[in-house]
Amino acid sequence: EVQLLESGGGLVQPGGSLRLSCAASGFTFSSFVMSWVRQAPGKGLECVSIIGTNAANTYYADSVKGRFTISRDNSKNTVYLQMNGLRADDTALYYCASRVTTVTTKYFQHWGQGTLVTVSS
């Protein structure tokens, strides 16, 4: 059974930092592109970052570029999101999602249950 288990969320002051983790199991982690998708309270979904299978390629939404860093450790089947310079509008539930990305197929395949990040003083 595929599982994506996020952790690391919590309450942080504006300007602070958090590191989210997503532990994967039940599939060949190193073969999948991974992503972080967030959802602010009462709002829609936003893809904030994507990382390629070997971490050579990373992508960020404009809203987090320069502040967030995605990484992965294929030996630990884990993807991370280092979040610096946090702002109130980063408050959201952060989902980890595996992404199928081939020449013929592209979509978010599996989703975690999310970890909540609250930025407030």
Partner 1 sequence: QTVVTQEPSFSVSPGGTLTLTCGLSSGSVSTSHFPSWYQQTPGQAPRTLIYNTNTRSSGVPDRFSGSILGNKAALTITGAQADDESDYYCVLYMGPGSVVFGGGTKVTVL
54 binds partner 1 (CB under 8 A): no
Report the distance separating Cα 38 and Cα 22, nearest Å.
13
110 binds partner 1 (CB under 8 A): yes
Residues 6+ apart with CB under 8 A from 3: 23, 24, 25, 26, 112
35 binds partner 1 (CB under 8 A): yes
Smaller CB separation from partner 1, 56 or 121: 56
Nearest distance, CB of residue 121 and partner 1, angstroms? 27
**CA 43 remoteness from chain centre:** 17
27 binds partner 1 (CB under 8 A): no
By the criterion CB under 8 A, which residues form the site for partner 1? 35, 37, 44-47, 50, 57-59, 95, 97, 99-100, 104-114
